[in-house]
Amino acid sequence: MKPILVDTHAHLGHQAFAGELPAVLVRAWEAGLGWVLNVADDMVSAAAGAQLAAREPRLFASVGVHPHQARTWKEETREELAVLLRCPKVVAVGETGLDYHYGFSKPAVQRQVFREHLKLAKEHSLPVIIHAREADGDLLEILSTFAPLEGVVHCFWSSADIARRYLDLGLYLGVGGAVTFRNSGALRETLRELPLERLLLETDAPYLTPHPYRGRRNEPAMVSLVAIALAELFAIDPEEVRRCTSRNAARLFKVDQSLFC
């Protein structure tokens, strides 16, 4: 039997999946996924994700407020997140981080809300799921003040130097559909030098659909294409990529995946 695949980053609460989630999940299990981590981007998707994970054995949840939504953070948000973080199938804090590209929330607000997430992650001994866009310097500075910390920089797409600095902090790096894009040669060169033991597979569904399906909605089943691309990059068997990255995911998120093999 093939080793399982894990999608460590999907937004199943996105409206792109409305009414279609049962079929999407059937396709995921048929594609060989063992489990999926459903990642929230606001308090509505956080509460819904925790509820869904309680019902679906192979779904886990991460709860947090995306940096785009940082401006929606209120005084009571912290306690609301703390309540959700006590649910047994909630295994991570996030998606949080910094995004200076779009600037949907002011940088200072994003930094403050990011720190709140890191405090929660520490208090609950949970890993954190980090979004980074044009903000690696500030992210590294804030993260270093919270070290040691467990987590993943999802959809990693920076230089080899930045990759090493995240790895030095003990973080994992998430690899998604971008590794399959025709214009991502530099990213592939960077990833090739990194240890497979520190990489996680993800889709970021419904976004970042792998080649050759770009332009269509992404979904967890397509993580198999990311595994194949990574295997080509490392010149190893795709089964080795599955085995290693699913083990990495289970270790970081403390999921007993013997239940899903």
Residues making contact with Zn ion (CB under 5 A): 95, 204
State which residue, 155 or 221, has the beta carbon closest to Zn ion.
155
State which residue, 3 or 41, has the beta carbon closest to Zn ion.
41
State which residue, 3 or 177, has the beta carbon closest to Zn ion.
177
CB of 131 to Zn ion, least distance (A): 6
* C-alpha closest to that of 3 among 237, 235, 251: 237
Residue found under tokens 């970021």: 204
CB of 220 to Zn ion, least distance (A): 13
The phi and psi torsions of 250 (rounded to 5 degrees) equal: -65, -40
State which residue, 3 or 245, has the beta carbon closest to Zn ion.
245
CB of 226 to Zn ion, least distance (A): 14
Report the side by side order of strands in the sheet with 33-39.
5-10, 33-39, 59-63, 90-99, 128-133, 151-153, 172-175, 199-201
CB of 236 to Zn ion, least distance (A): 27
d(CA 153, CA 170) in angstroms, rounded, equals 11
CB of 155 to Zn ion, least distance (A): 7
State which residue, 56 or 202, has the beta carbon closest to Zn ion.
202
State which residue, 3 or 12, has the beta carbon closest to Zn ion.
12
CB of 143 to Zn ion, least distance (A): 18
